C-alpha cells in the first residue's frame, strides 16, 4: 500500500505537469499522512538537514563561475580557438559548435548553460550559412549535454556527495568519456554535412602559428580546468574551495584582463546563480525526503532483488539499468533522478563488481541523454528558445545525435577503463 501510494501519487503529479521537485515532496507528504505514523515535519527536517553539506556548496559556486565566464568574454575566445582547430573541416561550423561546447563544459559544469552560452553565438552563424535551424539547434542541444560529463560537473559533485565517492575522482573520470561523446557527435555532424554540402567555418589555411596564436588568446580560459583539477589533486584545495577559486578567477579575468565584465554583469550573474541554485536546492532537499521514505519501506532492496533476479551477468544487469535510466531521464530531471536512484542502484552494481566511480559516469551519461529526449528534454527547450525554432523540428533533427550518444553510452558502460584509468593513475 505504501509503495503504491508513493509512486502512484508521484506519477499522477507528474502527469498533471506539477514541477518534479514539488511532486516528490507532495508524494512523500501524502504517503506519510495516509500510510505511516511518522510526523509530517520529517519531510522538511530531512530536506533541510540534507543540504547541510560542505561539498554541496560547490554547486552554486560552479554555477556562478560558469555564468561569469560566459559574460566575461571567455565564450568568444573559446569559439575562436575551436574555429582555428576544426573550422576548416567539412561542416566546419558544426565541428566548431561541438568543440566549443566541450571547452565551455570545462567551465560551466551545466548542460543547459552550455547550450545557452554557445548556442547564442553558433546557432545564428549556422543558420546564416544555410545549415538549417533544426540541425543547428539539435546539434547545440546534443553537444551541450557534454557539459555535465567533462569536469567540473555539477551532477558529479552531487553523485560524490550521495554515493560517498571522491568528487575529484569523478571529475577525472569524466574527461575521456566526455571527449569520446564529443568525437561521436563530430562524426555524425561530418556525415550530415558531407551529404548536405554544408560549408566550412573558415577558409584560412591552418598553420602552426595560427593555432599557437589562438591558444595564446584563449590561455586564460584554458587555465580554468588546469587550476581546478591541478589544485584538487595537488592537495591545495577541496572541490568546494576550487569552485570558489573559479569564481574569483572569473571575476579577475573578466574585469581586469578581458575588460568585458562590468559590475552590473557581476550583480546580474549573482542574482541568476542564486535563482538557479534555489530551485536546484529545493529539488535536492525534497528528492532526499522522497528517498528517505523509500528507504524506510525497503524499496531500494526490493528493486535490487528484482534486477539481480533477472540475471547473474554483470553485462546484462548493466544493460537493464541503462534501459531503465534512459526511460527515467525522459520524465525526471537529472538532479532528482540522481539523488533518488544512486542509493538504489549503487549497491546492485558494486555487488557484481562495478567500480563506484565508473558507475557514476554511467549514471550521469544516461541522465545527460535525458537532456535531449522529450518530454522533459531541458536542452531541447533551451535550444528552441535561443534559436526560436519549433521544438518539433529540433526533435526530428536530433535523432542521429541521440543514437550516437546511446552508442557512446554503451562504449562507456562496457569499457570501464575509459572512466577509471585517469583516477587510478593519480591514486597510485
Contact partners, residue 65, CB within 8 Å, separation at least 6: 107, 108, 224, 243, 246, 247, 249, 250
| Most confident segment among 149-153, 175-179, 219-223, 275-279 | 175-179
Q: How confident is the model at residue 330 (pLDDT cuts 50, 70, 90)?
A: confident
What's the pLDDT score for residue 138? 93
Q: Is 70 exceeded by the pLDDT of residue 427?
A: no
Cell numbers 541521440 correspond to what residue?
402
- Where helices occur in 218-312 by DSSP H, the ranges are 219-233, 239-252, 263-296, 299-310
Q: Is 70 exceeded by the pLDDT of residue 428?
A: no
What's the pLDDT score for residue 364? 94
Q: Is 90 exceeded by the pLDDT of residue 240?
A: no
**CA pseudo-torsion sign 414, 415, 416, 419:** negative
* CA–CA separation, 330 and 343 (whole Å): 20
Question: pLDDT tens-digit profile of 16-60?
Answer: 888 777 888 888 888 888 888 888 888 888 888 877 777 778 888
What's the pLDDT score for residue 332? 76
Mean pLDDT, the chain, whole residue set: 85
Question: In terms of pLDDT, which residue wins out, 361 or 16?
Answer: 361
Question: In terms of pLDDT, which residue wins out, 411 or 148?
Answer: 411
What's the pLDDT score for residue 201? 64
Q: Is 80 exceeded by the pLDDT of residue 303?
A: no
Kind plus residue range of the DSSP H or E element containing 347:
helix 334-351
Instruction: State the average pLDDT over residues 304-320.
Output: 87
Question: In terms of pLDDT, which residue wins out, 164 or 59?
Answer: 164
What's the pLDDT score for residue 231? 85
- Which of 196, 203, 223 lies closest to 77 in space, CA to CA? 223
Question: pLDDT tens-digit profile of 363-387?
Answer: 999 989 988 987 678 888 888 887 8
Instruction: State the average pLDDT over residues 4-14.
Output: 84
pTM of the model: 0.83
Q: How confident is the model at residue 174 (pLDDT cuts 50, 70, 90)?
A: very high
What's the pLDDT score for residue 191? 92
Whole-number percent of the chain with pLDDT over 70: 97
Q: How confident is the model at residue 184 (pLDDT cuts 50, 70, 90)?
A: very high
* CA–CA separation, 251 and 115 (whole Å): 22
Contact partners, residue 299, CB within 8 Å, separation at least 6: 3, 6, 344
Whole-number percent of the chain with pLDDT over 90: 23
Do the beta carbons of residue 214 and residue 85 sit within 8 Å? yes
Torsion of CA 49, 55, 56, 57, to 10 degrees: 110
What's the pLDDT score for residue 202? 66
Amino acid at each position: 500500500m505504501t509503495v503504491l501510494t508513493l509512486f502512484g501519487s508521484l506519477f499522477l503529479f507528474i502527469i498533471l505537469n506539477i514541477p518534479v521537485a514539488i511532486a516528490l515532496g507532495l508524494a512523500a507528504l501524502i504517503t506519510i499522512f495516509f500510510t505511516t505514523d511518522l510526523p509530517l515535519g520529517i519531510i522538511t527536517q530531512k530536506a533541510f538537514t540534507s543540504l547541510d553539506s560542505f561539498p554541496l556548496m560547490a554547486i552554486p559556486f560552479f554555477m556562478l563561475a560558469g555564468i561569469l565566464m560566459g559574460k566575461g568574454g571567455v565564450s568568444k575566445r573559446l569559439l575562436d580557438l575551436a574555429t582555428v582547430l576544426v573550422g576548416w573541416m567539412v561542416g566546419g561550423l558544426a565541428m566548431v559548435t561541438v568543440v566549443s561546447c566541450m571547452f565551455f563544459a570545462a567551465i560551466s559544469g551545466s548542460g543547459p548553460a552550455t547550450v545557452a552560452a554557445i548556442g547564442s553565438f553558433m546557432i545564428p552563424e549556422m543558420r546564416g550559412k544555410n545549415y538549417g535551424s533544426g540541425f543547428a539547434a539539435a546539434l547545440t542541444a546534443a553537444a551541450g549535454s557534454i557539459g555535465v560529463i567533462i569536469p567540473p560537473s555539477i551532477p558529479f559533485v552531487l553523485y560524490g556527495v550521495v554515493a560517498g565517492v571522491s568528487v575529484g575522482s569523478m571529475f577525472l573520470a569524466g574527461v575521456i568519456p566526455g571527449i569520446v561523446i564529443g568525437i561521436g557527435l563530430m562524426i555524425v555532424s561530418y556525415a550530415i554535412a558531407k551529404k548536405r554540402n554544408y560549408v566550412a567555418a573558415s577558409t584560412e589555411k591552418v598553420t602552426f602559428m595560427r593555432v599557437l596564436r589562438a591558444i595564446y588568446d584563449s590561455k586564460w580560459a584554458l587555465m580554468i580546468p588546469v587550476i581546478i583539477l591541478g589544485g584538487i589533486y595537488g592537495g591545495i584545495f577541496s572541490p568546494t574551495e576550487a569552485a570558489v577559486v573559479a569564481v574569483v578567477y572569473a571575476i579577475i579575468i573578466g574585469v581586469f584582463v578581458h575588460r568585458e565584465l562590468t559590475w552590473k554583469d557581476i550583480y546580474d550573474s549573482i542574482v541568476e546563480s542564486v535563482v538557479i541554485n534555489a530551485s536546484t536546492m529545493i529539488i535536492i532537499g525534497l528528492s532526499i525526503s522522497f528517498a528517505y521514505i523509500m528507504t524506510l519501506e525497503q524499496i531500494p532492496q526490493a528493486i535490487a532483488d528484482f534486477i539481480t533476479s533477472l540475471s547473474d551477468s554483470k553485462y546484462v544487469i548493466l544493460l537493464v539499468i541503462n534501459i531503465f535510466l534512459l526511460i527515467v531521464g525522459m520524465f525526471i530531471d537529472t538532479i532528482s533522478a540522481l539523488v533518488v536512484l544512486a542509493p538504489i542502484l549503487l549497491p546492485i552494481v558494486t555487488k557484481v563488481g562495478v567500480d563506484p566511480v565508473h558507475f557514476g559516469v554511467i549514471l550521469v551519461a544516461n541522465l545527460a541523454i535525458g537532456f535531449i529526449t522529450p518530454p522533459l528534454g531541458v536542452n531541447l527547450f533551451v535550444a528552441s528558445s535561443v534559436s526560436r525554432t519549433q521544438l518539433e523540428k529540433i526533435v526530428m533533427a536530433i535523432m542521429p545525435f541521440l543514437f550516437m550518444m546511446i552508442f557512446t553510452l554503451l562504449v562507456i558502460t562496457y569499457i570501464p577503463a575509459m572512466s577509471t584509468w585517469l583516477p587510478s593513475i593519480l591514486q597510485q
